[in-house]
Structure 1
Amino acid sequence: MLTWRAVRKFVWGDVPETRAEQILLLKIDWFILSYCCLMYFTIYLDTSNVANAYVSGMKEELHMYGTQYNKLNTIWTCGYIIGMIPNNLMLQVVSPRIWFPSTQIVWGVLTFCASTVKNINQLYAIRFIQGVAEASAFIGTHYVLGSWYKTGELGKRSGIFTSSGLIGTLFSGVLQAAVYQNLNGVSGRSGWRWLFIIDGVITLPIALYGFLVFPNVPSTTTAFYLSEEERRLAVARIQADKKLNAKGAHGQLSWDLVRRVLGRWRWYGCSLLFLVSGECESFGSNNLMGLWLKAVGGYTVEEVDYYPSGVTAFGIVSTLVCATWTDSTRSRARWPVLVWISVAVIVASICIVVWSSPTGLKFFAYYLAGASYTGQATTFTWANQICADDDQERAIVLASMNMWNNAVNAWWPLIFYPATDAPKFRKGMWAMIGTGVATLMVTFFVWYMEQREKRSRLVLEEDDGDGDVKISEKDVDVETVSAT
């Protein structure tokens, strides 16, 4: 039995102590993860479809030239940045169960519209509005996950959520190749136009599913599949695990929040961490392998769609393995994962910048760079863990991390990864080496500050004589939920 428990803990995180908590965890795993993962899958499917459409005929049909492909991504990023704060503020006003699916319907309809564009300017406008609509999904989901899951459960769930987006990227390449083979020219539409239509068909039913099952956060949930006792238990177990600061309760905004956020290192350190480490994903997010294959020639359209899927596949495996490992360790240390992705992208960049290297080594380098996707789940899980004692600070830190990364990502590819630099991307490879080194430095800074804060907290607890906070199901009453 001990062996089975150890295996279960390694695979799925901390094992609940009571049957009631086991049933609760099973329910929130099924309903929260199923919708969040499907929603994120459609975002990455939509984003990746643009890259796959570009190398599958869209470039020629819309007469795209120069860096217009990069500008298309930058315009989406600008919409994403502009929409981030309003979307996340709306989550404090409108139920996430309503807001998430509503925005998903918007970008699903716009995906249909993308299949009808006649020129690049029309596609620019659609991509900008899609960026605004998609802005709340990623960071909003990490906030919701951190509201429902304990520290020992969160890493694996964040990894599964992030991997669902990568599966969307992986599926997009396979889907585009299949569409090009079977639907190109059907009803007078190009294969890349059919790709957007199919994407929209996939997106809208998932939005309707969200209206039905998404449960909001524990303190406000009215989900039909949770009993009153389970709702109270959901609140209590998070309070016991995170010792939630009363000033940081969901929905109770005050000016003291500004002092708490700006007066501590967390906002600065975590924002800088994802600002830097997020750019390690440039290999995959800019489809550099696809652009390389198209530029060197000798590959079919299907091969240009298929081969870059290996980058994403390696990213999925790396994300799930690292998330499982970090949750299973006693210390819940997240920093080794950042070291891993830094080393991976540095090695990959060196292999590519030495252009005389064999083609096989370049394939290996691009696939190895897929490890960079692991940073998403890890950095946001780490931030959730660092800010676990203050719910409002946690929400702002998570949003700021994504905002600052996208603020850099709006112009970074235009300078270092323009499509015109294919196939060598020499500037980009040197920039990636620098990014990997910078990620190592910032990771050490965040780890050091986290350890210093832990030591200070232990000293205060010893001085105050406070013990661990333990809340059982019997100790929870309605007033606890109301106060939260």
Structure 2
Amino acid sequence: MASPPNEVKPKLSVEHIDALDKRQNGVHLDKFGAATELSPEEKSLVKKLDLRMMPILWFMYFMNFLDRNAIVNGKINKMHKDLHLVGTQYNTCVSIFFVGYLVGQVPSNMLLTRIKPSHYMAGWTMAWAIVSTLMVLVKDYHGLLACRLVLGITEAPFYPGALFMISSFYTRKETATRMSVFYTGNLLASSFSGLIAAGIFARLDGKHGLEGWRWLFLIQGVITVLVAGIAYFILPNAPLQTRWLTPDERQLAHDRIAQDTTQKKGKVDVWKGLRESALDYRTWVFALMQNLHLSANGFKNFLPTVVQTLGFNTTITLVLTCPPYLIAAFASVAVSWSSGRFNERTWHITLSKAVAIVGFVVGTATLSIGSRYFAMVLFVGATYGVNNIVLAWTAGVLGQTDEKKAVSLAIVNTLGNLSFVYTPYLWPDTDAPRFGKAMYASVGFSAGVVLCAWVMRLVLQRDNKKIRATDNEAINFYMY
């Protein structure tokens, strides 16, 4: 097959070429060109990555979400009253975080392909930790608004950067599961943040003249400072530049991702990566899919408030926010593992969203305490696996170059998180206890995700036919 104009072929090692020869002979190859089993060397490498890279990324994300969502639990401790917030001012403070969060993601991931991730990611983690800690000093609405905006800017590099790092070390079959395990940092933070907050509020509220919510910001911020310091020494860089991999492991880490990428190209200028991503219409289909998915997830900033409408006291309310997220963590890993195991995306998204839709409908159709709590378990538990599948799918389809993949992940995540700018306004306190506007909107958003997934499936089936038609020796195809 002739190379497209201006395409830069990646430099392949001897081992890489041997592996490609074996794949062309039909050894250990599935219908998409992905390896069906790993060599002992690959298994050892993956285990090392799982034990070194994944835990620190997980802890960083756990603290990322605790710091970001301290405001949610702070409201239960009457933070909004202490700061004299009125009308939609609290909702605006929740929303403004995502303005800063959205602005920085694309340029940040462009830089990440040129700066050592261990330095870059740890540095930004330290920055948001300091901002979060300083929120203890906030006195009014304007101070909280400013801190939330800056917190969003400093947290912006982490999540898309972590996604790029994971996709740079793991194959398509492995990525969804690792992203899901990584995402449990979010889910377990959501699950246990209520319990952590309840303990701090019960023991420290009023101590040394500080309200419980101020102690929450202070304690979590200081812990994140420590995590950032550890991350500086543990995080990997690019596969060929990671100091705790042996030379052979570095080459293997690089080669196996190159083998696994459909229509792989060599390194390009970061601006070309941006241009290629922006001009690929599949980027925008994935972005719409993620936006609709996260629009349906608007409940995550209001779940304690929704649980509170069941009529229990503050402590029990915070405790009851825990089980739905615990179930979601297990379900997310299981669904993502299944998606990777069977190389399937569309049906996993469709069935997950169908369960979530049932939960949204039941949640607003009845005032029964038991039924409403069960509905919360359904729509929380069925939702989060979809996030990891969409992002892993994005990395697999738009990973022709590292620069394009980094930008594409940032664009998809940025436009997905745009939903958190407007969805807080779907949850006014006046809609309690049913929150019908938000629940039925989430039904529509979820249905839109399913439609986008099937459109992408048809697009990729067509793209695979084109690859086969132009190269009868092609061995690598897009997964759907």
Task: Give yes or no for TM over 0.5.
Answer: yes
Equivalence for 1:472: none
What is the deviation of 1:271?
A: 1.1
Q: Partner of 1:444 in structure 2?
A: 454
Relative to the length of structure 2, the TM-score reads 0.87
Cα distance change on mapping 1:14 and 1:154 into 2, 3 Å: farther
Partner Cα separation in structure 1 for residue 106 and residue 476 of structure 2: 36
Query: Any idea what the Cα deviations from partners look like across 1:212-259, whole Å, max 9, x if unmatched?
Result: 01111214x242x21112111111111122256224x2x63354862x
Secondary structure of 2:372 counterpart: helix
Deviates more, 1:300-309 or 1:21-30: 21-30
Which of the residues 357, 369, 389 maps onto 1:346? 357
Matched ranges for 1:75-94 at <5 A? 75-94=96-115
**Secondary structure of residue in 2 paired with 1:459:** helix
User: What does 1:152-231 align with in structure 2 at a 5 Å threshold?
Assistant: 152-219=173-240, 221-223=241-243, 225-231=244-250
Could you tell me whether the CA contact under 8 Å between 1:271 and 1:401 is conserved in 2? yes
Q: Is the 8 A contact 2:184 2:329 kept in 1?
A: yes
> Conserved in 2, the CA contact under 8 Å of 1:295 and 1:423?
yes
CA gap 1:106/1:257 in 2 versus in 1, 3 angstroms = closer
Matched, 1:280 2:301: no
Contact in 1 for aligned 2:274/2:407 (Cα 8 Å): no
Contact 1:273 1:442 in 2 (8 A): yes
Distance in 2 (alpha carbons) for counterparts of 1:93 and 1:240: 22
Task: State the AA in 2 paired with 1:294.
Answer: Q
CA distance in 2 between counterparts of 1:86 and 1:237 reads 27
CA–CA distance in structure 1, aligned partners of residues 273 and 92 of structure 2: 40
**Matches for 1:118-137 after TM superposition, within 5 Å:** 118-137=139-158
Which residue is 1:316 aligned to? 329
Say whether the 8 Å CA contact 2:364–2:372 is kept in structure 1. Answer: no
Taking a change above 3 Å as real, the CA distance of residues 365 and 256 of structure 1, as seen in their structure-2 partners, is closer
Deviations along 1:139-163, whole A, 9 cap, x unmatched? 1111111111111211210110111
**Stretches of structure 1 lacking an aligned partner (at least 5 in a row):** 1-12, 470-484
Equivalent in the alignment of 1:477: none
Q: Any idea what the Cα deviations from partners look like across 1:179-234, whole Å, max 9, x if unmatched? A: 12222222222221111112112211111111101111214x242x2111211111
Letter in 2 for 1:381: A
Alpha-carbon distance between aligned partners in 2 of 1:254 and 1:363, rounded to the nearest angstrom: 48
Match of 1:360 among 346, 353, 370: 370
Q: CA deviation at 1:99?
A: 1.0
Q: 2-side partners of 1:255 and 1:358: how far apart?
A: 55
Equivalenced residue count is 443
2:11 aligns to what?
none
Give deviations 1:1-31, integer Å, cap 9, x for gaps: xxxxxxxxxxxx9786433322222222222
Q: CA separation in 2, counterparts of 1:467 and 1:172? A: 46
Instruction: Determine the C-alpha separation between the residues in 2 that align with 1:281 and 1:71.
Output: 18
Aligned to 1:422: 432
| Distance change >3 Å, CA 419–CA 216, structure 1 → 2 | farther
Which residue type is aligned with residue 146 of structure 2?
A
- d(CA) in 1 for partners of 2:55, 2:259: 26
Matched position secondary structure for 1:456: helix
What's 1:271 paired with?
287
Tell me which amino acid in the other structure corresponds to 1:305: L
**CA distances 1:64-123 after superposition (whole Å, capped 9, x unpaired):** 222222111111010101122232232133221111111111111111111221112111
Alignment of 1:461-476 (within 5 A): 461-462=471-472, 465-466=473-474
One-letter amino acid of the counterpart of residue 307, structure 1: L
Q: Which residue of the other structure, out of 254, 272, 293, is the alignment partner of 1:235?
A: 254
Structure 2 Cα separation of the partners of residues 237 and 26 of structure 1: 15
Instruction: Quote how far apart the aligned CAs of 1:321 are.
Output: 0.8
Aligned to 1:423, the other structure's residue is in SS state coil
Cα pair 1:41 1:165 within 8 Å, conserved: yes
CA distance in 2, matches of 1:321, 1:234: 25
Give the superposition deviation at 1:367: 1.2
- Distance of 1:170 and 1:468 partners within structure 2: 40
SS of structure 2 residue aligned to 1:340: helix
2:338 to 325, 331, 339: 325
Does the CA-based 8 Å contact 2:298-2:423 persist in structure 1? Answer: no
Quick check: 1:138 aligned with 2:171?
A: no
1:55 Cα deviation from its structure 2 partner: 1.0
- Residue 3 of structure 1 corresponds to none
- Secondary structure at 1:411 match in 2: helix
Distance 1:124 1:34 in 2: 32
Q: Spell out, residue by residue over 1:246-290, the C-alpha distance to the aligned partner (whole angstroms, 9 max, x if none).
A: 24x2x63354862x434433212111111111212112x2223x2
Question: Residue type matched to 2:432 in 1?
Answer: A
Instruction: Provide the residue aligned with 2:31 in structure 1.
Output: none
What is the SS of the residue equivalent to 2:418?
helix
In 1, are the aligned partners of 2:292 and 2:416 still within 8 Å (CA)? yes
Match of 1:292 in 2: 306
Range with greater deviation from structure 2 (333-342 or 437-446): 333-342
Cα 1:390/1:91, change in 2 over 3 Å: closer
Question: 1:431 Cα shift?
Answer: 0.8
- Report the aligned-residue RMSD: 2.2
- Residues 443-471 of structure 1 show CA distances to partners (whole Å, capped at 9, x for unaligned) of 11111112221222222221xx45579xx
* Equivalence for 1:110: 131
**Identical positions, percent:** 25
The Cα of 1:57 is off from its aligned counterpart by 2.3
235-244 vs 146-155, which moves further: 235-244
The answer for the alignment partner of 1:478 in structure 2 is none
CA distance, structure 1, for counterparts of residue 295 and residue 145 of structure 2: 23
Asked if the contact 1:45–1:171 (Cα under 8 Å) also holds between the matched residues in 2, the reply is: no
C-alpha spacing 1:63/1:466, structure 2 compared with 1 (3 Å):
closer
CA contact (8 A) 1:319 1:374 kept: yes
